[in-house]
Amino acid sequence: MSDDNEPDNTGRDISEEFVAVERELRAESFLDSIKDQLPGMFGMAFMFVITILIALFIRPWYDIAGLHAFGEAGATQVKYIAMELAFIFIFTVMILLLAKYKKDWVIKYGIMGILAIALMYTTVPLAHMLVIDFDAEPFEYDEASTHTSESYIVNYGMEGFLTTELTGEADGPWNDSVSYWHGQPFDGEPVWQVDQQRNPGYDLGDTRVVLNGNLATFTNGVWIWTIDMDSGEKLETYACHLVDPVQGVIPLPNMHTACSLAVLIDDSMYVVSTDDSLFHYRVFEEQLVYQASWALPTNIGISDGVLYSEVISEDRLLITTITQVCIVELAETNSALLPSLQVEVAATAFVRNSTGYYVSSDFGHSPWSNVTMENASADTGFILIGENNGNVLGFEWNQSAEVEVVEQTKMHLMDFAETIQSARLTDLDVSGHTDMLITTGDTAHWLHGEALVNRISFPIDDNFKTGYFVDDSNTSSQFVALYDNDGTTAKHGEVTGEMMTLSGLQLYDGPFMVGLIVAIALMILLYVHSEWYVVNTVGVLVGSGVIVMLGVAFVPSLIIIFMIVAAIYDAWAVYKSKHMLALADTMIGLRLPILLVAPQSKGYSFKDGQTSISDKGGEMPDQSSAQTTTKKSNKGGEAMFMGLGDVIFPGMLVLSCAQWLDESAAIPVAMGALVGGLLGYATLMYFVAQGKAQAGLPLLNGGAILGYLITGLFFIGTSLLDFGISW
């Protein structure tokens, strides 16, 4: 509408009828105007809400299929929002040019084709949502649990682990008993059990192990021994001490403290002492002959505990402690000119200090590898680490690459939970590609595939140590949870396919055909009988599809940027450029369902209404952000119009909240954005009822953003303002 009392023909053509209608509206009382428009207002508000609710309803279908336009990484990048805005502007210009050169048939059939495709993005998911069971059966443990007095050391493979127990009396002798368990543990005997004496040592110090293929090297601070993991045979035993007639038990030559970690590689024994030094000894008939020594990286803290250690190649040793993960390059000699006076720092391929402290570590096949485990190169692998502060980190290792270790940025598991208890690589579906089993404070999550979709969760109790899966049969497996309870307790339960949430594109023949037929039928009906109820049905469904497609593609902060820029453009197009008038006239004249129609009376017919809205006064809906107005048809009825953009933009924010915010706050904040959008709509109606021209998006988008901020700050706090976006 015009804000002038008299027509101003400068720069645009305004009919006398336009001015007359404007004067008539301004002459009406505000209450009379509101009363006349109430049916349309409520009808439009209903369609506003139902469009967004349908989008929320079909969102799980998009979510499980991972149908994010630019992937999870692209959800935080501003460049994709800029791309979307550019396409909107280009589309607007193309429509205006085609209308200028009277190419209405190109506009009509081109947009009809686009709408047909967009319509199927709602009808097909909607048909699937009505028949697919998205609720998974809950996992339950068997009532019986098993227990051993031995303590968990480390996992070996995906279905086994090692335990140890110190046996003896107060006055000795002391022995270490090491056992290997596979499958469901503690029901019977371990796969094998090996004993090792501690004499002349005492009951101090932990038993630790370094894995090297099927060879495991153990040390208890006094002795080093190797075991064949396949057979359980103890192969060799080496003294990690000397006995002096005067001093008694003393460290090995050149070693000043007790041995804390050891590994045998061919005829070389590498020993780590409790003061974070690395020593190389040659093995001659079970005797260790000193060769060289190095200082390990600062802050490694071997004496505080070793979470995991494995030889990942002939000259690479992976060590994870609570403070650091590193890959040490194993050499045979050092380059120090005076070894007795100079301490050379060991070369490392990778070092990363913890930001809190590490609680779990694993090494194996990368979930992002393009080959299966059995076909993987021996020079590649994946380091998985869990931190007490809730971070889960992953690093790709490739010894032949220019940069040997790089962080896997596709994980997106920073701040995964308040705390992490265990992080393991698994293969529950026996696909040959690894998944992750990440345990937080009270739940173990099986994260499947490259997208790390949480397919199933397992409740866990206090004192949880680790969990793993046992392949039971072709149709089920067992989840085993280990607890530190004066030894080790195991609980287990059956895992079936019915317990797993759906993942990937769920496209079934029956629902697909139903959705396709409904979309085709609606488009045919729209073409032959473009009445307001047909236009609304198509418009609501198209709007829902567009909302969910864009809403799941971007985080809320990017959606807000999108909305602000679109609102500025909308205000410019209405108050300055005025090009929306011609554009809306073209769209309504072609009866294209890019708007919603709310009849004011029974006599209204959209199909038979031939009068141009720009001749009747009011503001024009356009394809990106329409303004609300009324229009009389030839049958004498009136209607209120709203462009789909006025619903789509607030709806995108609602969907984005439901998709990307923390699960506990997602729906409340999404509803806050929806209510805010409705309040913006009510404000828009207030100005329209007064006969004042208004751009729709500034009020609608502003209300939705305000609702998001208020509820977001209440449910999430100031962290809501940490946008976390990049170019």
Where a domain ends, among 301, 323, 353? 353
Is the predicted pLDDT of residue 143 greater than 70, yes or no?
Answer: yes
The gap from C-alpha 727 to its chain's centroid, in whole angstroms, comes to 19
Q: Is residue 492 domain-shared with residue 527, that is, in the same domain?
A: no
Give the contacts of 224 (CB within 8 A, at least 6 positions apart): 217, 218, 237, 238, 239, 240, 259, 262, 264, 269, 271
SS (H, E, C) 463-489: CEEEEEEEECCCCEEEEEEEEECCCEE
Is the predicted pLDDT of residue 69 greater than 50, yes or no?
Answer: yes
Average of pLDDT values for 401-424? 93
Structural domains in the chain (count): 3
Q: Please report whether residue 204 resides in a domain.
A: yes
pLDDT of residue 131: 87
Q: Is residue 99 domain-shared with residue 235, that is, in the same domain?
A: no
Identify which has the larger pLDDT, 172 or 309.
Answer: 309
- Average confidence score pLDDT of the chain: 85
Q: Is residue 363 domain-shared with residue 334, that is, in the same domain?
A: no
Residue 632: which pLDDT band, with cuts at 50, 70 and 90? very low
Is the predicted pLDDT of residue 86 greater than 50, yes or no?
Answer: yes
Q: How far apart are CA 568 and CA 82, in angstroms?
A: 14
Q: How far apart are CA 332 and CA 192, in angstroms?
A: 34
Q: Is residue 568 domain-shared with residue 689, that is, in the same domain?
A: yes
Order the strands of the 234-239 sheet from edge to edge.
234-239, 223-228, 215-219, 208-212, 306-313, 316-321, 324-329, 348-353
| Secondary-structure breakdown of the chain: helix, strand, coil percentages, each rounded to the nearest 5 | 35, 30, 35
CA distances to 191, 228, 232, 467, 542 from 188, rounded to whole Å, are 9, 21, 17, 19, 62
Average of pLDDT values for 554-579? 83
Q: Is residue 316 domain-shared with residue 379, that is, in the same domain?
A: no
pLDDT of residue 232: 96
Q: Is residue 558 domain-shared with residue 637, that is, in the same domain?
A: yes
71-80, 161-170, 681-690, range with greatest mean pLDDT: 161-170
Buried b (16+ CB within 10 A) or exposed e, 42-70: ebbbebbbebbebbbbbbbbbbbbbebeb
Average of pLDDT values for 64-80? 74
Is the predicted pLDDT of residue 191 greater than 70, yes or no?
Answer: yes
Question: Structural domain of residue 58, as residue ranges?
Answer: 30-134+505-716
Residue 107: which pLDDT band, with cuts at 50, 70 and 90? confident
pLDDT of residue 25: 53
Q: Please report whether residue 9 resides in a domain.
A: no
List the single range of 169-173, 272-276, 477-481 with lowest mean pLDDT: 169-173
pLDDT of residue 578: 61
pLDDT in tens, 421-473: 999 999 998 899 999 999 999 999 999 988 888 899 999 999 999 999 998 77
Q: Is residue 548 domain-shared with residue 530, that is, in the same domain?
A: yes
Q: Please report whether residue 373 resides in a domain.
A: yes
Give, in degrees to the nearest 5, the angle at Cα 376 between 371 and 382.
Answer: 95
pLDDT in tens, 286-333: 789 999 999 999 999 999 999 999 999 999 999 999 999 999 999 998
Look at residue 715 and give its three-state secondary structure. Answer: helix
Residue 690: which pLDDT band, with cuts at 50, 70 and 90? low
Average of pLDDT values for 575-583? 63
Q: Is residue 491 domain-shared with residue 532, that is, in the same domain?
A: no
Q: Is residue 312 domain-shared with residue 188, that is, in the same domain?
A: yes
pLDDT of residue 6: 44
Q: Please report whether residue 1 resides in a domain.
A: no
Q: Please report whether residue 366 resides in a domain.
A: yes
Is the predicted pLDDT of residue 249 greater than 90, yes or no?
Answer: no
Q: Please report whether residue 266 resides in a domain.
A: yes
pLDDT of residue 580: 58
Where a domain ends, among 467, 501, 535? 501
Return the closest-CA partner of residue 124 out of 411, 522, 661: 522
Average of pLDDT values for 216-241? 95
List the single range of 57-61, 97-101, 342-346, 666-670 with lowest mean pLDDT: 97-101
pLDDT in tens, 10-33: 444 555 655 555 565 555 555 665
Q: Please report whether residue 54 resides in a domain.
A: yes
pLDDT of residue 19: 58
pLDDT of residue 56: 94
pLDDT in tens, 512-554: 999 999 999 999 998 888 888 888 999 999 999 999 988 888 8
Q: Is residue 548 domain-shared with residue 422, that is, in the same domain?
A: no
Where a domain ends, among 473, 501, 529? 501
Q: Please report whether residue 22 resides in a domain.
A: no
Is the predicted pLDDT of residue 212 greater than 80, yes or no?
Answer: yes
Q: Which is it for the CA torsion 185, 186, 188, 193, positive or negative?
A: positive
Q: Is residue 623 domain-shared with residue 641, that is, in the same domain?
A: yes
pLDDT of residue 181: 96
Q: Is residue 99 domain-shared with residue 48, that is, in the same domain?
A: yes
pLDDT of residue 99: 72
Q: Residue 167, CB half-sphere, CA atoms under 13 Å: how many? A: 12
pLDDT in tens, 34-44: 666 777 788 88
Phi, psi of 272 (to 5 degrees): -105, 130
pLDDT of residue 352: 97
pLDDT of residue 620: 36
Q: Percent of the chain scored above 90 by pLDDT?
A: 52
Question: DSSP string of 659-696?
Answer: HHS-HHHHHHHHHHHHHHHHHHHHHHHHHHHTT----H
